[in-house]
Each structure stands twice: as structure tokens, then as C-alpha cells.
């Protein structure tokens, strides 16, 4: 009888504990809120930063299509999603170009579905954070598309990173997953790693003049996952390594061999700076590559290169002009004036000697003082201009 009572009491305690936990979980779930941001007047906020400032940890911020001109500082554990899930219609443009467009400084934040533009620094910056989720964004026109500093165990997936100076950059950042991104038509390296190890980098589409920064110690990172049956970024049948293209159509994946037709190149790819992709992807479905390329803007990349060359040429011309009209040129002019004066004085002295010797008197010509004044006046007029 006592055993039955003891058993019943224990069951009662377990039931009570389960009910208590359920109530606590329900209360916790009910305390999280959905905040809506809209550039029109039908949302809770018209500013995304205002919503972040008002949010509490665990809240979800849903952003309606529109263009939001602001620099975001995400310092709370929130989920920020575009309502449409389409980066093309929900744009965040940096209000202050000299600062990063989006800066995340808190663990376990998520940010998904936006076009990021207008920053001369980083499009998305993660500093000292863990377990953040950056997904389905288009980042362009920045010094760094996505930059991680001292940040570990984050997931960077399914983003389009293009027309940036550098695509993805990791500094002192370890054990991050970089998966399924299109990193193409950037002016510098597609990915650059400094003092960063144990990062898992696979199923990405690389197409840049320099896909991987050759100065990086890349051997300490993994460039493929174990082969598994699942459609990859170029619609092949297996997830494995990365697709390696270049701007001339001569990338490793583009020129590789796939004799068994499994969508994986038959030989591994040695990565600049160290490291090996054991399962580089092969374009088994060529139309899939064409479809992916259709979302990229090669003409904008070419125009960007032309603009850079033009700016460099203009800067060179300005420097040469400054050299021609700078202090060195003025000193040379001063020396010429001094030499001209000295020459005129010597000529006058010789004439005077000849006149004394011959005894003939001639009408005096313009003396050295007049010549010197004329040259000096020209010099000062030129310098004043």
C-alpha cells in the first residue's frame, strides 16, 4: 500500500512539474511579439531601427516592401525578416555611407530577405557574435559584402554577394558555416580569411577574378561537406564542394571532367593559399548555371571596372599636373630667372667695356633691371594665378 501511495505521489510530482514547465513555456512564448515595419503608414513603425530599439529579446520584426534609408545596429536577440522574402523589393540603403549598413553585435540574431546597398564599409558586419543567421540577402557596392570580426559558429547562407570590393571576409572568426551563397562579380577576392579556422565552406558559387584570397591560410578550413544526395547550387544531384568559375569561362568547375556524370569533378581542386576542395561541383545541368547567371549583372561589373580605370587615370593626371606646377617647378623657374639675370648682367658688363675701349657713344638699350622686372612680373603673375 505504501509503495502504491509513493508511486502515486511521484507521478503527481512529475505531472505538476510538467504542467509548470508548460505554463512557463507558454508564458515565454506569449511574451514574444511580432513588430511590423512599413514605409507606408500601415505598420507599427516606419523605421526599422525604431522597431529594433523598442523590441525585446525573442521578438520578430517583419518588414514590408520598401526602401529604408538608415544604418542598422542590431543589439538585441531578434529575428528580422522581410515580409515578401524577396530582397529585390525590400531595400536597406545606408544613410551614412562611411558606416556599415547593418551591424550585428548580439548573439542569435537572424536577418533575412533584404537588399543591402550604399555603404562604403561593410554591407553586413558581425562583431563578436555567435550563432547568428544571415540568409537570403543581396549585398552589393560595399568594401566588404559580409564581414565577420571575432565571430564564431554563425551561418551565412543563400546570399547573393556581388559588385563589392571583397565578397566575404573573416577575421579571427572560426567554425562558421558558409553555405549556398552566390559570390560573383566582385572586384577583389570572393572570400578572404585571416586568422580564421574550422570554417565549413561548401555549395557556394564563386565567379570572380580572384575567388579566394591567396594571402590567406586557407588550409585550416573545410571546403566541402561529405557527399550527400541533394540538389546543389547548380542543380546537380549531390551536395559536395563549391562551384569554381572565373570571368573568362575557364574556372576549374567549367573546364573539369565528370566521367561518371554525378555532377562532381573527378579530381580535387587545390585552393590558392592552401586547402583542397575534394568535391568541386561540375555543371551537370548547364541551363541551371545560365539561370543563376541571369540574376547577376555582368554589365554593371564591366562598367564598375571602367569607372575605376577612369578614376585612376584622372588621379594620375592630377598628380602629374601638381608635379609640373608644384614647388619643384617654382624652384626651377626661380633658377631660370636668376640665370637670365646673370646672363643679362654679364652682357651689359661686356658692352660697357667695349664702349670704353672704342670711345663711341651709343644710345643705351634696356638695362638688366628692366629685363629682370619683366621676367619677375611674369613669374609672379603666373604664381598668383
On whether both 242 and 349 belong to a single domain, the answer is no
On whether both 70 and 128 belong to a single domain, the answer is yes
On whether both 165 and 287 belong to a single domain, the answer is yes
Q: Walk along the chain (385 residues) and give the pLDDT tens digit of each residue.
A: 444 444 454 544 445 545 544 444 444 445 789 999 998 878 899 999 999 999 999 999 999 999 999 999 999 999 999 999 999 999 999 999 999 999 999 999 999 999 999 999 999 999 999 999 999 999 999 999 999 999 999 999 999 999 999 999 999 999 999 999 999 999 999 999 999 999 999 999 999 999 999 877 788 999 999 999 999 999 999 999 999 999 999 999 999 999 999 999 999 999 988 899 999 999 999 999 999 999 899 999 999 999 988 888 877 766 766 666 666 555 555 555 455 554 555 544 544 444 444 443 333 333 333 333 333 333 333 334 3
Per-residue model confidence (pLDDT) at position 172: 96
Per-residue model confidence (pLDDT) at position 219: 87
On whether both 53 and 86 belong to a single domain, the answer is yes
On whether both 25 and 172 belong to a single domain, the answer is no
Residue 318 lies in a domain: no
Residue 310 lies in a domain: no
Residue 311 lies in a domain: no
Residue 291 lies in a domain: yes
Residue 309 lies in a domain: no
Show the 3-state SS of the chain. CHHHHHHHHHHHHHHHHHHHHHHHHHHHHHHCCEEEECCCCCCCECCHHHHHHHCCCCCEEEECCEEEECCEEECCCCEEEECCCCHHHEEEECCCCCCCCEEECCCCCEEECCEEECCCCEEEEEECCECCEEECCEEECCCEEEEEECCECCEEECCEEECCCEEEEEECCCCCEEECCEEECCCCEEEEEECCCCCEEECCEEECCEEECCCCCHHHCECCCCCEECCCCCCCCEECCCEEECCCCCCHHHHCCCCCCCCECCCCEECCCCCEECCCECCCCHHHHHHHHHCCCHHHHHHHHHHHHHHHHHHHHHHHHHHHHCHHHHHHHHHHHHHHHHHHHHHHHHHHHHHHHHCCCCCCCCCHHHHHHHHHHHHHHHHHC
Residue 43 lies in a domain: yes
On whether both 124 and 186 belong to a single domain, the answer is yes
Residue 320 lies in a domain: no
On whether both 117 and 155 belong to a single domain, the answer is yes
pTM: predicted TM-score of the whole model, two decimal places: 0.76
On whether both 379 and 291 belong to a single domain, the answer is no
On whether both 158 and 266 belong to a single domain, the answer is yes
On whether both 176 and 253 belong to a single domain, the answer is yes
Per-residue model confidence (pLDDT) at position 380: 35
Question: Grid coordinates in use for 206?
Answer: 564563386
On whether both 68 and 4 belong to a single domain, the answer is no
Residue 313 lies in a domain: no
On whether both 374 and 287 belong to a single domain, the answer is no
Supply the range of the domain harboring residue 23.
Answer: 1-31
Identify the CATH number of the domain in which residue 223 sits. 2.160.20
> How many domains is the chain built from?
3
Amino acid at each position: 500500500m505504501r509503495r502504491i501511495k509513493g508511486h502515486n505521489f511521484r507521478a503527481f510530482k512529475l505531472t505538476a512539474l510538467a504542467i509548470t514547465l508548460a505554463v512557463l513555456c507558454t508564458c515565454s512564448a506569449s511574451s514574444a511579439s511580432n513588430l511590423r515595419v512599413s514605409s507606408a503608414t500601415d505598420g507599427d513603425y516606419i523605421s526599422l531601427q525604431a522597431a529594433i530599439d523598442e523590441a525585446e529579446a525573442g521578438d520578430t520584426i517583419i518588414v514590408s516592401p520598401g526602401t529604408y534609408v538608415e544604418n542598422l545596429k542590431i543589439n538585441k536577440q531578434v529575428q528580422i525578416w522581410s515580409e515578401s522574402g524577396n530582397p529585390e523589393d525590400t531595400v536597406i540603403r545606408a544613410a551614412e555611407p562611411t558606416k556599415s549598413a547593418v551591424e550585428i553585435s548580439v548573439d542569435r540574431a537572424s536577418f533575412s530577405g533584404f537588399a543591402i546597398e550604399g555603404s562604403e564599409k561593410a554591407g553586413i558586419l558581425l562583431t563578436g557574435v555567435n550563432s547568428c543567421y544571415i540568409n537570403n540577402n543581396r549585398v552589393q557596392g560595399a568594401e566588404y559584402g559580409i564581414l565577420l570580426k571575432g565571430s564564431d559558429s554563425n551561418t551565412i547562407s543563400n546570399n547573393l554577394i556581388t559588385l563589392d570590393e571583397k565578397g566575404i571576409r573573416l577575421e579571427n572568426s572560426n567554425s562558421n558555416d558558409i553555405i549556398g551563397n552566390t559570390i560573383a562579380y566582385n572586384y577583389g577576392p570572393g572570400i578572404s580569411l585571416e586568422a580564421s579556422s574550422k570554417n565549413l565552406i561548401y555549395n557556394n558559387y564563386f565567379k570572380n577574378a580572384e575567388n579566394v584570397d591567396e594571402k590567406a591560410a586557407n588550409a585550416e578550413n573545410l571546403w566541402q561537406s561529405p557527399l550527400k544526395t541533394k540538389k546543389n547550387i547548380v542543380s546537380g544531384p549531390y551536395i559536395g564542394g563549391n562551384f569554381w568559375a572565373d570571368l573568362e569561362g575557364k574556372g576549374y568547375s567549367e573546364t573539369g571532367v565528370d566521367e561518371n556524370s554525378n555532377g562532381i569533378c573527378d579530381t580535387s581542386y587545390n585552393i590558392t593559399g592552401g586547402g583542397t576542395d575534394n568535391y568541386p561541383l561540375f555543371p551537370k545541368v548547364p541551363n541551371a548555371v545560365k539561370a543563376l547567371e541571369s540574376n547577376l549583372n555582368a554589365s554593371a561589373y564591366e562598367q564598375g571596372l571602367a569607372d575605376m580605370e577612369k578614376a585612376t587615370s584622372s588621379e594620375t593626371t592630377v598628380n602629374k599636373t601638381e608635379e609640373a606646377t608644384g614647388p619643384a617647378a617654382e624652384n626651377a623657374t626661380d633658377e631660370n630667372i636668376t640665370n637670365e639675370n646673370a646672363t643679362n648682367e654679364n652682357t651689359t658688363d661686356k658692352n660697357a667695356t667695349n664702349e670704353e675701349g672704342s670711345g663711341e657713344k651709343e644710345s643705351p638699350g634696356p638695362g638688366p633691371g628692366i629685363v629682370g622686372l619683366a621676367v619677375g612680373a611674369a613669374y609672379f603673375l603666373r604664381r598668383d594665378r
